[in-house]
Amino acid sequence: MNDFYTYAYLREDKTPYYIGKGKGNRIYSTDRKVKLPKDKSRIIFLKQNLTEDEAFRHETYMISLFGRKDLGTGILRNLTDGGEGSSGAVISEETRSKQSAARKGRTCTEEHKRKVSEALKGKIISEETRKKLSEAHKGKTLSEEHRRKISGRNHYFYGKTHSEETRRKMSEALQGEKNHFYGKTLSEETRRKMSEANKGKTLSEEHRRKIGEAHKGKTLSEEHRRKIGETNKGKTLSEEHRRKMSEVNKGKTLSEETRRKISESVKERWRQYRISKGLDRIDSTKGYIKGNVWVISNRANTLKNDASLQELKTLVENLEKL
């Protein structure tokens, strides 16, 4: 649709100090780093009724024509060469520091958060954009100071919890083909790096407690259990891993509640095992052949074991006399 335009902000001497592209009321928006002229007559449209691509191209052309102050090529305060994205942006460390200081202590209102959320609904980041983001972050590590600032009580979500409705939506949004990792597997190299990065790290008691609280009352679906089982098939724990697990659990004792749950779980499994059925040989001297098999519960199979018919009859007779 041809509802895009290019515009300029003029100085008092009528020379432009900013060139932009937009649609709707963007030309008068104050949500920007460059201030609008107080005199509205110095806010002008350059071209109107453009497609977005045409607006991008004209914006880029006008910026190249007048040049940028930050690059020493002209008179404009633009920090990019125009066009889609922020191509060509050069932000000095001093500018970054000033921007950071200006934002300190600021918090977004609930209304602002709601608008941002609405604006992002349904948007999907393209594979190309994901790739660029990945490349841009390669090799970068957060400083200890940065980690401290965004952890614990400083974290924006500290003390908050997602509602059940939000949890459900997040879960549905990541299921199946919607998940960004659907059908992908981690390479051995990536697994090794992750392992190296986590070596020597231990979770605090507070962290463990929170994880425990988060999982209370949750049960794994049969599908989930099946996948875990298939993933662990044929895997064995190394001696090193066994040793570490042993050291971690040294001196720990199970609470009465945990003991009770384990006991109930074992009892239930044993009960299910005893009532479950399987094939058994009628004559144990012969194989599992036609005419020599029958369906029998594990409980009954255990009772008869290697006892003869006469021995079982004698047992029943004696039990009846009690």
3-class SS string, the chain: CCCEEEEEEECCCCCEEEEEEEECCHHHCCCCCCCCCCCHHHEEEEEEEECHHHHHHHHHHHHHHHCECCCCCCCECCCCCCCCCCCCCCCCHHHHHHHHHHHCCCCCCHHHHHHHHHHHCCCCCCHHHHHHHHHHHCCCCCCHHHHHHCCHHHCCCCCCCCCHHHHHHHHHHCCHHHCCCCCCCCCHHHHHHHHHHHCCCCCCHHHHHHHHHHHCCCCCCHHHHHHHHHHHCCCCCCHHHHHHHHHHCCCCCCCHHHHHHHHHHHHHHHHHHHHCEEEEECCCCCCCCCCCEEEEEHHHHHHHCCCCHHHHHHHHHHHHHC
CA distance 246 to 249: 5
**Across-strand partners of 68?**
76
Q: Is the pTM of this model over 0.85?
A: no
CA distance 312 to 322: 16
Residue type at 73? T
- Residue the block writes with tokens 């974290």: 155
Rama region for 11: left / alpha / beta (φ>0; ψ in -120 to 50; rest): beta
| Contact between 79 and 87 (Cβ < 8 Å) | no
Question: Tens of pLDDT along the chain (322 residues)?
Answer: 788 999 999 999 999 999 999 988 889 988 778 899 989 999 999 999 999 889 999 999 999 999 999 999 999 999 888 886 544 456 677 777 777 777 777 777 888 888 878 877 777 777 778 888 888 888 888 888 888 888 888 887 888 888 889 988 888 888 888 887 888 888 889 988 998 888 888 888 888 888 888 888 788 888 888 888 888 888 888 888 888 888 888 888 888 888 898 999 898 888 887 778 778 888 878 888 888 888 888 777 777 776 777 877 887 888 788 7
Distances, alpha carbon 56 to alpha carbons 30, 62, 73, 87, 144, in Å: 21, 10, 20, 12, 40
Q: 166 is written with which tokens?
A: 């939000």
**Which burial class, exposed, middle or buried, applies to 40 when counting CB atoms under 10 A from its CB (0-12, 13-18, 19+)?**
exposed
Give me the phi and psi of 308, to 5 degrees please.
-85, 165
Residue type at 1? M
